[in-house]
Structure 1
Amino acid sequence: MKKNFKLFSLLTIVFTIFSDSFANEKIYFHGDSQSKKIALTFDDGPNDSSLPKILDLLKEEKIKASFFFIGKNILSNKEEVKRTYDEGHLVLNHSYTHSNFNTASQETITSEIKEANNAINNILGITPTLYRPPYGIITENEKIVVKNLEMNIVLWNVDGEDWNIKRSVDYVIRTQEKETKNGSIILMHTQPNKDTSYEALKKLIPYYRNQGYEFVKLDELLEIEPYETLK
């Protein structure tokens, strides 16, 4: 998934600095800074190339994580979606097409989020309440739509830039080690035929454990429900 590298990096910095200003917007950047817990999150799946490798590694290491899937990728990767959920990970909403919503109407954004949720529900029978906007860009229309849908936006405070083709595995590792702290939400990716996240994760997992961090899913880190409950 190609991204505007400079814009994406700048947004990560801005979100980290000003995260407290969104306290009443149901937008999460990190968990409790007093807790030695961190959450691994993965964007841009599902696929049948990099995702299975990461799932194999997480299973071997007995780690549960949170995956934000793109709706249009789900139909052709149903088994990967099922496996992710069956192995105890969260399956969450990353829009249907991963488009830039800067000028999108509320109707368009509503359709994008609902279609992605429907794709997940059709396979797993659950409806996510956690949403990550494409490129981490939050528009005013998105905030209104997410509120109307009774969902929450989840961003991050650690970005090793594994999505950036210019970044080496060593860069990803060094950056994440430097940025991670108590309560961190860590952004990584499961992009097709790209193993940067997988290779970095093999070294990051033992590092985090040596630092005393506990890996948890977003629902535990943020103390929120990840899926709609029956009313």
Structure 2
Amino acid sequence: MFRRIKFIFWLFFALVVCVVFFGTEESCANLHKKNNKEGIVYWHGDSNQSKVALTFDDGPNEPYTSQILDILKEFNIKATFFLIGKNVQNYPEVARRIIREGHIIGNHTHDHPELILKLNSQIRYQIKKTEEVLVDATGVKPYLFRPPYGLDTPLVWREAEKLNYIVIKWSASAFNGRKDMLPGQIVDKLRREVENGSIILFHDGNRTTKNADRSRIVEALPMLIESLQKRSYQFVTVPQLLGFEN
């Protein structure tokens, strides 16, 4: 028990330092890119194929989720949405639209806690409660799970695996709608980061973040899509990128 408390303390300390110096959760979760652990956790797809996957966290959140869906429909692109249970309860019709238009949904916990500070039973509750909400709203049981803030441990992986989930992280992100970042800056950063097999992180939901303006994401998205298509990238869902679906 003491060893676990000590581990959590140092992990939390590292998070605080990271936020202070880097300012964003996506930077903290990806200070170094990791190799996939087959069937357990994935950061990226095949580096030999010019395919990338767009992912959106923390929704549904109106009007931004619907605006993003409109853009994806215009470009005929399918994406993956990691949804928060409480937000699905607030916007069940938007969740149903995500499914209806051919996108993939993933589990992003019920209220976005830091799972590294939770007990096994609390981790399971967050995953199972969200699953119940998603099934009730959409009729679809997800099998992809993304931990809040991208923060996890082998314990989180193990609990997700017990519930038949695969953990999905990301390999490219850009400011994610910060008020002080223009859409062009978001696109420029992602153009530098994206490579074959990239899983791209965006946020359509706000949670309690005060320094966020998701309209920046809405403005940047078509610019990014057009830019990456000119570089011959194909947009696919996370399951397609990782070979879970043909």
What is the deviation of 1:25? 6.5
* 1:68–1:94 Cα contact (<8 Å) kept: yes
Q: Call closer, same or farther: CA 1:102–1:165 in 2, change over 3 Å.
A: farther
What is the CA distance between 1:105 and its match in structure 2?
Answer: 0.2
2:172 is equivalent to residue 158 of structure 1: yes
Counterpart selection for 2:67 from 53, 73, 82: 53
Mapped partners of 1:75, 1:7: distance in 2: 27
Structure 1 range deviating more: 31-40 or 161-170 = 161-170
User: CA offset at residue 164 of structure 1?
Assistant: 3.3
The one-letter code sitting in structure 2 at the alignment partner of 1:221 is L
* Cα distance between partner residues in 2 of 1:151 and 1:36: 26
SS at match of 1:13: coil
The answer to whether the 8 A contact 1:89-1:217 is kept is: yes
Q: Which residue of 1 aligns with 2:139?
A: 125
Equivalent in the alignment of 1:228: none
**One-letter code of the match for 1:188?**
F
Partner secondary structure for residue 55 of structure 1 = helix
In structure 2, C-alpha distance between the alignment counterparts of 1:40 and 1:101, rounded to whole Å: 24
Deviation of residue 6 (structure 1)? 3.0
In the TM superposition, residue 100 of structure 1 has moved relative to its aligned partner by 1.1
Instruction: Say whether 1:208 aligns with 2:237.
Output: no
CA distance in 1 between partners of 2:115 and 2:178 (Å): 21
Equivalent in 18, 26, 31 of residue 45 of structure 2: 31
Q: Secondary structure at the match of 2:117?
A: coil
- Give the length in aligned residue pairs: 219
What pairs up with 1:8-157 in 2 under 5 angstroms? 8=25, 9-14=27-32, 16=33, 19-20=34-35, 22-24=36-38, 26-157=40-171
Answer with 122-131 or 209-218: which moved more: 122-131
Q: Distance in 2 between matches of 1:140 and 1:218?
A: 21
Tell me, yes or no, if the aligned pair for 2:203 and 2:214 is still in contact at 8 Å.
no
- Cα distance in 2 for residues equivalent to 1:106 and 1:159: 29
Which range moved further: 3-12 or 165-174?
3-12
What secondary structure, in the 3-state scheme, does the structure 1 residue paired with 2:30 have? helix
Unaligned 5+ segments in structure 2 are: 1-17, 207-212
1:168-207 residue pairs with structure 2 within 5 A?
168-192=182-206, 194-207=214-227
Task: Determine the C-alpha separation between the residues in 1 that align with 2:220 and 2:177.
Answer: 12
- Bigger relative contact order (CA 8 A; separation at least 6): 1
Aligned-pair CA distance for 1:125: 1.5
Q: Residue by residue, what CA displacement relative to the aligned partner does 1:122-150 show, whole Å, maximum 9, x if unpaired?
A: 12222111000000001232122012112
Q: Assess if the C-alpha contact under 8 Å between 1:160 and 1:176 holds in 2.
A: yes
Distance apart, 1:24 and its partner CA: 4.7
Give the unaligned 5+ runs of structure 1: 226-231
Which position in structure 1 is the counterpart of 2:243?
223
The structure with more radius of gyration? 2
Greater CA deviation, 183-192 or 52-61? Answer: 183-192
Task: Measure, in 1, the Cα distance between the counterparts of 2:159 and 2:181.
Answer: 34
